[in-house]
Chain A
Protein backbone atom coordinates (compact mmCIF):
# COMPACT_ATOMS: atom_id res chain seq x y z
CA UNK A 1 0.00 0.00 0.00
CA UNK A 2 2.74 2.42 0.90
CA UNK A 3 4.55 1.60 -2.30
CA UNK A 4 1.41 2.58 -4.21
CA UNK A 5 1.41 5.87 -2.39
CA UNK A 6 5.09 6.37 -3.13
CA UNK A 7 4.40 5.55 -6.75
CA UNK A 8 1.62 8.12 -7.08
CA UNK A 9 3.57 10.61 -5.00
CA UNK A 10 6.67 10.36 -7.11
CA UNK A 11 4.67 10.75 -10.31
CA UNK A 12 3.04 13.87 -8.95
CA UNK A 13 6.42 15.12 -7.83
CA UNK A 14 7.83 14.45 -11.29
CA UNK A 15 4.96 16.30 -12.86
CA UNK A 16 5.54 19.27 -10.61
CA UNK A 17 9.31 19.12 -10.89
CA UNK A 18 9.49 18.98 -14.68
CA UNK A 19 9.23 22.73 -15.39
CA UNK A 20 12.07 23.38 -12.95
CA UNK A 21 14.28 21.19 -15.12
CA UNK A 22 13.65 23.45 -18.10
CA UNK A 23 14.21 26.43 -15.86
CA UNK A 24 17.49 25.02 -14.61
CA UNK A 25 18.80 24.43 -18.11
CA UNK A 26 17.82 27.96 -19.10
CA UNK A 27 19.49 29.39 -16.03
CA UNK A 28 22.66 27.41 -16.64
CA UNK A 29 22.72 28.52 -20.25
CA UNK A 30 22.23 32.11 -19.18
CA UNK A 31 25.16 31.79 -16.81
CA UNK A 32 27.28 30.29 -19.57
CA UNK A 33 26.38 33.30 -21.68
CA UNK A 34 27.55 35.47 -18.79
CA UNK A 35 24.01 36.58 -18.14
CA UNK A 36 22.07 36.75 -14.94
CA UNK A 37 19.18 34.78 -16.37
CA UNK A 38 15.70 34.05 -15.15
CA UNK A 39 15.29 32.17 -11.90
CA UNK A 40 14.84 28.42 -12.07
CA UNK A 41 11.14 28.68 -11.28
CA UNK A 42 10.44 31.02 -14.17
CA UNK A 43 8.64 28.24 -16.18
CA UNK A 44 6.08 27.97 -13.37
CA UNK A 45 5.23 31.64 -13.74
CA UNK A 46 4.84 31.14 -17.46
CA UNK A 47 2.55 28.16 -17.02
CA UNK A 48 0.51 30.02 -14.43
CA UNK A 49 0.12 32.96 -16.76
CA UNK A 50 -0.83 30.77 -19.73
CA UNK A 51 -3.53 28.97 -17.75
CA UNK A 52 -5.10 32.33 -16.98
CA UNK A 53 -5.05 33.56 -20.53
CA UNK A 54 -7.63 33.31 -23.25
CA UNK A 55 -7.09 30.73 -25.99
CA UNK A 56 -7.36 31.75 -29.63
CA UNK A 57 -8.17 28.86 -31.91
CA UNK A 58 -8.05 29.00 -35.68
CA UNK A 59 -11.39 28.92 -37.46
CA UNK A 60 -10.00 26.15 -39.64
CA UNK A 61 -9.15 23.91 -36.73
CA UNK A 62 -11.33 20.96 -35.78
CA UNK A 63 -11.97 19.17 -32.50
CA UNK A 64 -8.72 17.31 -32.99
CA UNK A 65 -6.73 20.51 -32.54
CA UNK A 66 -8.48 21.15 -29.24
CA UNK A 67 -8.22 17.56 -28.04
CA UNK A 68 -4.55 17.05 -28.94
CA UNK A 69 -3.04 18.97 -25.98
CA UNK A 70 -5.02 16.81 -23.56
CA UNK A 71 -3.95 13.64 -25.37
CA UNK A 72 -0.31 14.71 -25.39
CA UNK A 73 -0.37 15.76 -21.75
CA UNK A 74 -2.22 12.66 -20.58
CA UNK A 75 -0.03 10.20 -22.45
CA UNK A 76 3.14 11.89 -21.26
CA UNK A 77 2.03 12.09 -17.66
CA UNK A 78 0.89 8.47 -17.71
CA UNK A 79 4.46 7.47 -18.56
CA UNK A 80 5.75 8.93 -15.31
CA UNK A 81 3.81 6.22 -13.54
CA UNK A 82 6.20 3.54 -14.77
CA UNK A 83 9.48 5.41 -15.03
CA UNK A 84 11.74 4.59 -12.09
CA UNK A 85 12.29 7.79 -10.20
CA UNK A 86 13.08 6.97 -6.60
CA UNK A 87 11.86 3.48 -5.88
CA UNK A 88 12.15 0.07 -7.54
CA UNK A 89 10.38 -2.21 -7.96
CA UNK A 90 7.17 -0.29 -8.45
CA UNK A 91 3.71 -1.77 -8.25
CA UNK A 92 2.97 -0.58 -11.81
CA UNK A 93 6.14 -2.14 -13.20
CA UNK A 94 4.45 -5.12 -14.74
CA UNK A 95 1.89 -3.04 -16.57
CA UNK A 96 4.14 -1.33 -19.05
CA UNK A 97 7.68 -1.81 -20.25
CA UNK A 98 10.18 0.30 -22.10
CA UNK A 99 8.52 -0.38 -25.45
CA UNK A 100 5.22 0.93 -24.12
CA UNK A 101 7.01 4.04 -22.93
CA UNK A 102 8.58 4.61 -26.33
CA UNK A 103 5.32 4.13 -28.18
CA UNK A 104 3.35 6.27 -25.75
CA UNK A 105 5.83 9.03 -26.52
CA UNK A 106 5.21 8.35 -30.20
CA UNK A 107 1.48 8.70 -29.49
CA UNK A 108 2.15 12.20 -28.17
CA UNK A 109 4.26 13.10 -31.19
CA UNK A 110 1.61 11.69 -33.52
CA UNK A 111 -1.10 13.91 -32.08
CA UNK A 112 1.15 16.97 -31.88
CA UNK A 113 1.94 16.49 -35.55
CA UNK A 114 -1.73 16.13 -36.46
CA UNK A 115 -2.51 19.26 -34.48
CA UNK A 116 0.23 21.03 -36.41
CA UNK A 117 -1.51 20.20 -39.65
CA UNK A 118 -5.01 21.03 -38.47
CA UNK A 119 -5.13 24.84 -38.66
CA UNK A 120 -3.87 24.74 -42.23
CA UNK A 121 -0.93 27.01 -41.62
CA UNK A 122 2.20 26.30 -43.62
CA UNK A 123 4.41 26.47 -40.52
CA UNK A 124 2.43 23.84 -38.70
CA UNK A 125 2.68 21.49 -41.65
CA UNK A 126 6.38 22.06 -41.86
CA UNK A 127 6.82 21.35 -38.19
CA UNK A 128 4.74 18.19 -38.40
CA UNK A 129 6.68 16.93 -41.34
CA UNK A 130 10.02 17.54 -39.65
CA UNK A 131 8.85 16.32 -36.28
CA UNK A 132 7.66 13.04 -37.70
CA UNK A 133 10.83 12.65 -39.75
CA UNK A 134 13.01 13.07 -36.69
CA UNK A 135 10.76 10.85 -34.58
CA UNK A 136 10.79 8.09 -37.19
CA UNK A 137 14.55 8.23 -37.63
CA UNK A 138 15.15 8.17 -33.88
CA UNK A 139 13.01 5.06 -33.49
CA UNK A 140 15.59 2.43 -34.60
CA UNK A 141 18.20 3.77 -32.18
CA UNK A 142 15.76 3.53 -29.32
CA UNK A 143 14.81 -0.01 -30.27
CA UNK A 144 18.39 -1.18 -30.51
CA UNK A 145 19.29 0.53 -27.26
CA UNK A 146 16.36 -1.29 -25.68
CA UNK A 147 17.78 -4.49 -27.14
CA UNK A 148 21.08 -3.71 -25.43
CA UNK A 149 19.44 -2.98 -22.09
CA UNK A 150 17.05 -5.89 -22.27
CA UNK A 151 19.61 -8.50 -23.17
CA UNK A 152 21.83 -7.20 -20.42
CA UNK A 153 19.13 -7.23 -17.78
CA UNK A 154 16.92 -10.00 -19.12
CA UNK A 155 13.85 -7.81 -19.20
CA UNK A 156 12.37 -4.81 -20.93
CA UNK A 157 10.61 -3.65 -17.78
CA UNK A 158 12.12 -0.54 -16.37
CA UNK A 159 12.04 -1.50 -12.73
CA UNK A 160 13.64 -4.82 -13.53
CA UNK A 161 16.46 -3.25 -15.51
CA UNK A 162 17.17 -0.82 -12.70
CA UNK A 163 17.04 -3.49 -9.99
CA UNK A 164 19.36 -5.74 -11.96
CA UNK A 165 21.89 -2.95 -12.22
CA UNK A 166 21.60 -2.09 -8.56
CA UNK A 167 22.39 -5.69 -7.79
CA UNK A 168 25.62 -5.50 -9.80
CA UNK A 169 26.63 -1.85 -9.88
CA UNK A 170 29.86 -2.42 -11.82
CA UNK A 171 27.82 -3.57 -14.81
CA UNK A 172 26.96 0.07 -15.38
CA UNK A 173 30.51 0.62 -16.55
CA UNK A 174 30.59 -2.01 -19.29
CA UNK A 175 31.31 -0.62 -22.74
CA UNK A 176 27.93 -1.79 -23.98
CA UNK A 177 26.22 0.23 -21.34
CA UNK A 178 28.27 3.33 -22.01
CA UNK A 179 27.68 3.13 -25.75
CA UNK A 180 23.97 2.58 -25.24
CA UNK A 181 23.93 5.57 -22.93
CA UNK A 182 25.63 7.71 -25.56
CA UNK A 183 23.19 6.64 -28.23
CA UNK A 184 20.17 7.28 -26.04
CA UNK A 185 21.58 10.65 -25.09
CA UNK A 186 21.59 11.65 -28.76
CA UNK A 187 18.05 10.35 -29.10
CA UNK A 188 17.04 12.36 -26.06
CA UNK A 189 18.36 15.50 -27.73
CA UNK A 190 16.32 14.69 -30.82
CA UNK A 191 13.11 13.67 -29.09
CA UNK A 192 13.09 16.43 -26.52
CA UNK A 193 13.89 19.00 -29.17
CA UNK A 194 17.22 20.24 -27.84
CA UNK A 195 20.21 21.59 -29.71
CA UNK A 196 21.80 20.62 -32.07
CA UNK A 197 18.65 19.08 -33.52
CA UNK A 198 16.03 21.62 -32.61
CA UNK A 199 16.38 24.96 -30.88
CA UNK A 200 13.73 25.41 -28.19
CA UNK A 201 14.32 29.16 -28.14
CA UNK A 202 14.22 29.84 -31.86
CA UNK A 203 12.09 32.59 -33.36
CA UNK A 204 12.73 31.76 -36.94
CA UNK A 205 9.91 29.64 -38.32
CA UNK A 206 12.11 28.04 -40.94
CA UNK A 207 14.41 26.49 -38.37
CA UNK A 208 11.72 25.16 -36.08
CA UNK A 209 10.63 21.63 -35.46
CA UNK A 210 8.64 21.33 -32.25
CA UNK A 211 7.92 25.05 -31.95
CA UNK A 212 6.43 25.12 -35.44
CA UNK A 213 3.93 22.41 -34.55
CA UNK A 214 2.67 24.33 -31.53
CA UNK A 215 2.83 27.77 -33.12
CA UNK A 216 -0.97 27.97 -33.20
CA UNK A 217 -1.56 27.09 -29.58
CA UNK A 218 -2.30 29.68 -26.95
CA UNK A 219 -3.59 29.94 -23.42
CA UNK A 220 -4.36 26.72 -21.64
CA UNK A 221 -3.56 24.56 -24.67
CA UNK A 222 -0.10 26.02 -24.92
CA UNK A 223 0.41 25.54 -21.21
CA UNK A 224 -0.48 21.86 -21.49
CA UNK A 225 1.78 21.34 -24.50
CA UNK A 226 4.71 23.13 -22.90
CA UNK A 227 4.27 21.29 -19.65
CA UNK A 228 4.06 17.99 -21.48
CA UNK A 229 7.30 18.70 -23.29
CA UNK A 230 8.95 19.51 -19.99
CA UNK A 231 7.68 16.22 -18.59
CA UNK A 232 8.99 14.46 -21.69
CA UNK A 233 12.42 15.91 -21.05
CA UNK A 234 12.20 14.74 -17.45
CA UNK A 235 11.22 11.25 -18.59
CA UNK A 236 14.22 11.02 -20.88
CA UNK A 237 16.49 12.33 -18.15
CA UNK A 238 15.13 9.78 -15.71
CA UNK A 239 15.57 6.98 -18.21
CA UNK A 240 19.17 8.05 -18.80
CA UNK A 241 19.83 8.51 -15.11
CA UNK A 242 18.06 5.53 -13.62
CA UNK A 243 18.36 2.84 -16.25
CA UNK A 244 22.05 3.38 -16.78
CA UNK A 245 23.22 4.68 -13.42
CA UNK A 246 20.60 3.50 -10.93
CA UNK A 247 22.82 4.11 -7.93
CA UNK A 248 20.97 5.53 -5.01
CA UNK A 249 17.49 4.38 -5.91
CA UNK A 250 15.55 3.05 -2.95
CA UNK A 251 14.77 -0.64 -3.04
CA UNK A 252 12.70 -0.65 0.10
CA UNK A 253 10.01 1.71 1.25
CA UNK A 254 11.64 3.51 4.12
CA UNK A 255 12.05 7.18 4.82
CA UNK A 256 15.88 7.38 4.84
CA UNK A 257 16.14 5.34 1.64
CA UNK A 258 13.58 7.53 -0.09
CA UNK A 259 15.28 10.73 1.03
CA UNK A 260 18.58 9.38 -0.23
CA UNK A 261 16.92 8.37 -3.49
CA UNK A 262 15.37 11.79 -3.93
CA UNK A 263 18.72 13.45 -3.31
CA UNK A 264 20.46 11.10 -5.74
CA UNK A 265 17.80 11.77 -8.35
CA UNK A 266 18.13 15.52 -7.98
CA UNK A 267 21.89 15.29 -8.29
CA UNK A 268 21.70 13.07 -11.37
CA UNK A 269 19.13 15.29 -13.05
CA UNK A 270 21.22 18.31 -12.22
CA UNK A 271 24.24 16.72 -13.83
CA UNK A 272 22.27 15.93 -16.96
CA UNK A 273 21.03 19.52 -17.03
CA UNK A 274 24.62 20.73 -16.84
CA UNK A 275 25.58 18.37 -19.66
CA UNK A 276 22.77 19.63 -21.86
CA UNK A 277 23.43 23.27 -21.05
CA UNK A 278 27.15 22.95 -21.76
CA UNK A 279 26.43 21.11 -25.00
CA UNK A 280 23.89 23.71 -26.08
CA UNK A 281 26.40 26.46 -25.43
CA UNK A 282 29.05 24.65 -27.38
CA UNK A 283 27.24 23.55 -30.54
CA UNK A 284 25.21 25.30 -33.19
CA UNK A 285 22.00 23.88 -34.59
CA UNK A 286 22.58 21.33 -37.29
CA UNK A 287 21.11 21.81 -40.70
CA UNK A 288 17.94 19.77 -40.89
CA UNK A 289 19.45 17.42 -43.42
CA UNK A 290 22.43 16.72 -41.24
CA UNK A 291 20.16 15.51 -38.45
CA UNK A 292 19.78 12.06 -40.06
CA UNK A 293 23.57 11.80 -40.04
CA UNK A 294 23.64 12.37 -36.31
CA UNK A 295 20.85 9.88 -35.81
CA UNK A 296 22.63 7.31 -37.95
CA UNK A 297 25.67 7.78 -35.73
CA UNK A 298 23.51 7.13 -32.70
CA UNK A 299 22.10 4.03 -34.39
CA UNK A 300 25.57 2.69 -35.02
CA UNK A 301 26.54 3.40 -31.43
CA UNK A 302 23.53 1.46 -30.23
CA UNK A 303 24.35 -1.38 -32.57
CA UNK A 304 27.92 -1.43 -31.29
CA UNK A 305 26.55 -1.46 -27.78
CA UNK A 306 24.55 -4.57 -28.51
CA UNK A 307 27.21 -6.41 -30.44
CA UNK A 308 30.17 -5.51 -28.28
CA UNK A 309 28.90 -6.90 -25.06
CA UNK A 310 25.49 -8.49 -25.10
CA UNK A 311 25.26 -10.74 -28.07
CA UNK A 312 28.82 -11.94 -27.86
CA UNK A 313 29.70 -12.71 -24.32
Chain B
Protein backbone atom coordinates (compact mmCIF):
# COMPACT_ATOMS: atom_id res chain seq x y z
CA UNK B 1 0.00 0.00 0.00
CA UNK B 2 2.73 2.38 1.03
CA UNK B 3 4.55 1.56 -2.17
CA UNK B 4 1.64 2.54 -4.37
CA UNK B 5 0.87 5.75 -2.55
CA UNK B 6 4.50 6.71 -3.00
CA UNK B 7 4.26 5.92 -6.69
CA UNK B 8 1.24 8.15 -6.92
CA UNK B 9 2.89 10.97 -5.03
CA UNK B 10 6.01 10.86 -7.12
CA UNK B 11 4.23 11.08 -10.44
CA UNK B 12 5.94 10.84 -13.76
CA UNK B 13 9.62 11.68 -13.53
CA UNK B 14 10.58 11.06 -17.12
CA UNK B 15 11.38 14.44 -18.48
CA UNK B 16 12.53 15.84 -21.71
CA UNK B 17 16.24 15.95 -21.27
CA UNK B 18 17.91 18.87 -19.53
CA UNK B 19 17.66 22.21 -21.33
CA UNK B 20 21.31 22.43 -22.19
CA UNK B 21 20.87 19.37 -24.32
CA UNK B 22 18.28 20.83 -26.55
CA UNK B 23 20.09 19.40 -29.51
CA UNK B 24 19.68 16.04 -27.82
CA UNK B 25 15.96 16.56 -27.52
CA UNK B 26 15.86 17.26 -31.15
CA UNK B 27 17.89 14.16 -31.67
CA UNK B 28 15.60 12.04 -29.66
CA UNK B 29 12.68 12.99 -31.79
CA UNK B 30 14.87 12.12 -34.70
CA UNK B 31 15.68 8.72 -33.24
CA UNK B 32 12.02 8.08 -33.00
CA UNK B 33 11.41 8.81 -36.64
CA UNK B 34 14.48 7.13 -37.93
CA UNK B 35 14.48 3.97 -35.93
CA UNK B 36 10.91 3.47 -37.00
CA UNK B 37 11.85 3.51 -40.62
CA UNK B 38 14.98 1.44 -40.23
CA UNK B 39 14.17 -1.18 -37.67
CA UNK B 40 10.48 -0.67 -37.23
CA UNK B 41 10.93 1.57 -34.18
CA UNK B 42 12.11 -1.32 -32.12
CA UNK B 43 15.79 -1.64 -31.47
CA UNK B 44 16.98 -4.44 -29.26
CA UNK B 45 20.30 -3.71 -27.64
CA UNK B 46 22.81 -6.21 -26.38
CA UNK B 47 25.34 -4.70 -24.04
CA UNK B 48 28.84 -6.20 -24.14
CA UNK B 49 31.32 -5.27 -21.49
CA UNK B 50 34.58 -6.04 -23.23
CA UNK B 51 36.69 -5.08 -20.26
CA UNK B 52 35.45 -1.72 -19.06
CA UNK B 53 35.90 -0.25 -15.60
CA UNK B 54 32.09 -0.32 -15.29
CA UNK B 55 31.88 3.45 -15.38
CA UNK B 56 30.14 3.30 -18.73
CA UNK B 57 27.86 0.56 -17.42
CA UNK B 58 26.64 2.82 -14.67
CA UNK B 59 25.74 5.43 -17.28
CA UNK B 60 24.12 2.82 -19.49
CA UNK B 61 22.01 1.68 -16.55
CA UNK B 62 20.70 5.22 -16.47
CA UNK B 63 19.29 4.74 -19.96
CA UNK B 64 16.68 2.33 -18.75
CA UNK B 65 15.85 4.31 -15.62
CA UNK B 66 12.86 6.58 -15.22
CA UNK B 67 14.69 9.79 -16.07
CA UNK B 68 16.11 8.89 -19.44
CA UNK B 69 13.65 6.05 -20.09
CA UNK B 70 14.91 4.81 -23.42
CA UNK B 71 11.98 2.43 -23.64
CA UNK B 72 9.77 5.28 -24.82
CA UNK B 73 11.77 5.30 -28.04
CA UNK B 74 11.44 1.58 -28.55
CA UNK B 75 14.93 0.82 -27.37
CA UNK B 76 15.34 -2.04 -24.95
CA UNK B 77 18.03 -4.36 -23.69
CA UNK B 78 17.85 -8.05 -24.48
CA UNK B 79 19.46 -11.10 -22.99
CA UNK B 80 20.92 -12.70 -26.07
CA UNK B 81 22.72 -11.38 -29.15
CA UNK B 82 20.37 -13.57 -31.15
CA UNK B 83 17.58 -11.18 -30.19
CA UNK B 84 19.66 -8.03 -30.71
CA UNK B 85 19.90 -5.44 -33.46
CA UNK B 86 22.56 -3.32 -31.92
CA UNK B 87 25.63 -4.15 -29.86
CA UNK B 88 26.60 -1.61 -27.24
CA UNK B 89 30.27 -2.33 -26.50
CA UNK B 90 32.20 -0.74 -23.66
CA UNK B 91 35.77 -0.76 -22.53
CA UNK B 92 39.10 -1.60 -24.08
CA UNK B 93 38.87 -5.11 -25.41
CA UNK B 94 40.85 -7.34 -23.11
CA UNK B 95 42.65 -10.38 -24.40
CA UNK B 96 40.15 -12.64 -22.73
CA UNK B 97 37.17 -10.80 -24.16
CA UNK B 98 38.39 -10.52 -27.74
CA UNK B 99 37.03 -13.88 -28.88
CA UNK B 100 33.77 -13.60 -26.95
CA UNK B 101 33.21 -10.17 -28.48
CA UNK B 102 33.83 -11.53 -31.93
CA UNK B 103 31.48 -14.44 -31.21
CA UNK B 104 28.82 -12.08 -29.97
CA UNK B 105 29.07 -10.11 -33.17
CA UNK B 106 28.81 -13.28 -35.22
CA UNK B 107 25.85 -14.48 -33.19
CA UNK B 108 23.88 -11.32 -33.90
CA UNK B 109 21.59 -11.67 -36.89
CA UNK B 110 21.86 -9.16 -39.73
CA UNK B 111 21.09 -6.32 -40.08
CA UNK B 112 23.08 -5.20 -37.06
CA UNK B 113 24.86 -2.16 -35.72
CA UNK B 114 27.71 -1.65 -33.30
CA UNK B 115 28.05 1.33 -30.99
CA UNK B 116 31.25 1.56 -28.97
CA UNK B 117 30.76 3.52 -25.76
CA UNK B 118 33.42 5.43 -23.88
CA UNK B 119 36.90 6.65 -24.53
CA UNK B 120 38.41 3.28 -23.75
CA UNK B 121 36.44 1.68 -26.55
CA UNK B 122 38.09 4.02 -29.02
CA UNK B 123 41.55 4.55 -27.58
CA UNK B 124 41.89 2.00 -24.79
CA UNK B 125 42.26 4.97 -22.44
CA UNK B 126 44.56 4.49 -19.49
CA UNK B 127 44.70 0.80 -20.20
CA UNK B 128 46.47 1.35 -23.46
CA UNK B 129 49.37 -1.01 -24.08
CA UNK B 130 48.54 -3.05 -21.04
CA UNK B 131 49.53 -6.68 -21.52
CA UNK B 132 45.93 -7.67 -20.92
CA UNK B 133 44.41 -5.46 -23.59
CA UNK B 134 43.93 -6.68 -27.11
CA UNK B 135 43.03 -3.34 -28.62
CA UNK B 136 40.16 -0.97 -29.25
CA UNK B 137 36.75 -2.29 -30.19
CA UNK B 138 37.13 -1.60 -33.89
CA UNK B 139 40.22 -3.77 -33.96
CA UNK B 140 37.97 -6.72 -33.24
CA UNK B 141 34.64 -5.99 -34.90
CA UNK B 142 33.46 -3.30 -37.32
CA UNK B 143 32.12 -0.33 -35.36
CA UNK B 144 29.50 2.03 -36.69
CA UNK B 145 29.71 4.76 -34.11
CA UNK B 146 31.99 5.72 -31.23
CA UNK B 147 30.57 7.60 -28.28
CA UNK B 148 33.21 9.67 -26.54
CA UNK B 149 33.37 10.47 -22.87
CA UNK B 150 34.76 8.92 -19.75
CA UNK B 151 32.11 8.00 -19.07
CA UNK B 152 29.69 9.50 -21.59
CA UNK B 153 26.38 10.76 -20.29
CA UNK B 154 23.28 8.73 -21.06
CA UNK B 155 22.18 11.47 -23.44
CA UNK B 156 25.43 11.11 -25.32
CA UNK B 157 24.92 7.40 -25.61
CA UNK B 158 21.46 8.02 -27.02
CA UNK B 159 23.05 10.37 -29.50
CA UNK B 160 25.48 7.67 -30.52
CA UNK B 161 22.66 5.24 -31.06
CA UNK B 162 20.96 7.77 -33.29
CA UNK B 163 24.05 8.29 -35.37
CA UNK B 164 24.37 4.55 -35.75
CA UNK B 165 20.79 4.21 -36.93
CA UNK B 166 21.52 7.05 -39.23
CA UNK B 167 24.43 5.22 -40.75
CA UNK B 168 22.18 2.52 -41.97
CA UNK B 169 23.52 1.54 -45.37
CA UNK B 170 20.21 1.42 -47.16
CA UNK B 171 19.39 5.00 -46.27
CA UNK B 172 20.94 8.18 -47.54
CA UNK B 173 22.77 9.91 -44.74
CA UNK B 174 21.02 13.14 -43.70
CA UNK B 175 23.35 16.01 -43.09
CA UNK B 176 23.45 16.46 -39.34
CA UNK B 177 26.02 18.36 -37.41
CA UNK B 178 27.60 15.35 -35.79
CA UNK B 179 30.98 13.96 -36.45
CA UNK B 180 31.05 11.03 -38.73
CA UNK B 181 32.12 7.91 -36.96
CA UNK B 182 33.89 6.58 -40.01
CA UNK B 183 36.08 9.63 -40.09
CA UNK B 184 37.04 9.36 -36.47
CA UNK B 185 37.94 5.71 -36.68
CA UNK B 186 41.58 5.03 -36.25
Contacts and interface: CB of A to CB of B under 8 A. Distances in A.
Contacts of B78: 203
Interface string A199-211: 0001111001001
B69 A42 contact: no
A38 B74 contact: yes
A203 B12 CA distance: 25
A45 B14 contact: no
A139 to B, nearest CB: 27
Interface string A218-229: 110010000000
Interface residues of B, number: 34
Contact of A36 (B69, B77, B85, B110): B69
A64 interface: no
A30 B69 contact: yes
Contact of B11 (A34, A278, A282): A34
Given A45-B41, A54-B109, A217-B82, A35 B4 contact: no
A255 interface: no
Contact of A45 (B40, B65, B107): B40
Contacts of A32: 4, 7
A53 B36 contact: no
Contact of B7 (A34, A38, A54, A55): A34
A126 B42 CA distance: 28
Majority secondary structure of chain B interface residues (helix, strand, loop or mixed): loop
Q: How large is the interface on A (under 10, 10 to 19, 20 to 34, 35 or more residues)?
A: 35 or more
A42 B42 CA distance: 7
Contact of B39 (A49, A203, A215, A222): A49
A217 B44 CA distance: 14
B80 A278 contact: no
A37 B13 CA distance: 11
A213 to B, nearest CB: 11
A49 B77 CA distance: 15
Nearest to B36: A45
Interface in B74-109: 74, 76-80, 82-83, 85, 107-109
Contacts of B108: 56
Contact of B107 (A38, A53, A56, A281): A56
Contacts of A198: none
B109 A34 contact: no
Contacts of B66: 33-35
7 contacts: A34-B12, A38-B74, A42-B71, A46-B44, A215-B79, A216-B82, A218-B109
Interface of A: 26, 30-39, 42, 45-46, 48-49, 52-56, 202-205, 208, 211, 215-219, 222, 278, 281-282
